[in-house]
Amino acid sequence: MKHLLKLVLFTATLTITGCAQQAPTEPQNFLTNDGNVNILWQNTNDYTDIEATAGVQSKFEQYLFTQLTQELGKLANKHLAEGQQLDLTVTNVDLAGDVQPTFGASVDDIRVVTDLYPPKLDFEYTLSQNGKVIASGTEKLRNMSYLSDLQPLNNDTFRYEQKLLTEWFKKTIKPLL
């Protein structure tokens, strides 16, 4: 009986341990484009924070990537000449704020935006003209004082991250054009 109990406990321990381990997930890559702007969202499973507060996570990610691409494309396509291409490979995103549970007060979690959780974007970029590289580099964009900046009166979901990209474009890419 004693050996049977040990065998049952050993089997239960192996079962629980096996269930607790998650199978490695495949790297997720998404490619979005808007005119002369292509963005590869690389290994999105490894991003610091792209957590949805409501709805399906994959739909949220698709919306996030599309919105940021369109915002950068709206600005870049005005300034890029014919034959010029801007390619970004995003390696990390940390959205402004932090997702907190509502503990039953609502079915959805909430994103709390405070100075503790600034927006962050890490990427590599290449600006080319007719296939020839004009400029390239690696960026780690941060805005530690994003809540102190003047805020436009809009309801853009990703306004802090959009601002990081547009300011980077104006400072880094626009002078090269």
Among 98, 32, 112, smallest CA distance to 64 is for 32
Structure confidence by residue, pLDDT tens digits, 6-29: 444 444 444 444 444 444 456 689
Backbone angles phi, psi at 144, to 5 degrees: -70, -20
Secondary structure of residue 55 in the 3-state scheme: coil
pTM: 0.79
Residues 95, 119: contact at Cβ < 8 Å?
A: yes
Strand partners of residue 129 = 84, 132
Cα angle value 106/108/110 (rounded, 5°): 100
- What pLDDT was estimated at residue 21? 45
Name the band, by pLDDT with cuts 50, 70 and 90, for residue 43. Answer: very high
Least confident window among 58-67, 84-93, 98-107, 111-120 = 98-107
Average pLDDT over residues 45-50: 93
- The larger pLDDT score, comparing residue 124 to residue 104, is at 124
- What pLDDT was estimated at residue 105? 65
Kindly report the average pLDDT of the chain as a whole number: 84
Share of the chain above pLDDT 90, in %: 60
Average pLDDT over residues 122-128: 97
Structure confidence by residue, pLDDT tens digits, 79-104: 999 999 999 999 999 999 998 887 76
Structure confidence by residue, pLDDT tens digits, 126-174: 999 999 999 999 999 999 988 887 666 667 789 999 999 999 999 999 9
- What pLDDT was estimated at residue 147? 86
